[in-house]
A = this chain, B = another copy of it.
């Protein structure tokens, strides 16, 4: 089974990604997700570059993006991602009132998604444009 790869035993290609993560996020070490992905340097590099690009502030601010990331992770039941993006969202400014409302929306969407499925509701013409 894959084991985490630490900086000291990493290849130059992996170290380059770790260095970029550390400088971009201003952290002393990368978190476990990256240490495990380092078993496949191509996936490590591609995933980091995609995450770095997608999570940068743009039309949406970082806090909103992290809350969406957390919402999906909660909906999918990915425990690692709930812990890591729960932390990241809070660092980006999500307070506990926002967290509570985020969870309420995630829960309600999961409920009404199934009600729409079960009642086999056809899409309204007003929504097809």
Contacts and interface: CB of A to CB of B under 8 A. Distances in A.
Interface in A113-129: 113-124, 126-129
Contacts of A99: 2, 40
Interface centre among A33, A73, A106, A119 (most CB of B within 10 A): A119
Task: Indicate how many identical chains form the complex.
Answer: 6
B65 A101 contact: yes
Nearest to A79: B123
Nearest to A103: B118
A49 to B, nearest CB: 8
A37 B115 CA distance: 8
Nearest to A53: B46
Interface in A45-76: 46-47, 50-51, 53-55, 58-60, 64-65, 67-76
30 contacts: A2-B99, A31-B126, A40-B103, A40-B104, A43-B104, A46-B53, A46-B104, A47-B107, A47-B111, A54-B101, A65-B105, A68-B68, A68-B71, A68-B105, A69-B105, A70-B118, A71-B72, A72-B72, A72-B106, A72-B109, A74-B118, A77-B78, A78-B117, A80-B122, A82-B120, A83-B123, A87-B126, A107-B115, A110-B110, A110-B111
The 6 closest A-B pairs by CB, nearest first: A40-B100, A59-B97, A72-B109, A83-B127, A78-B113, A36-B119
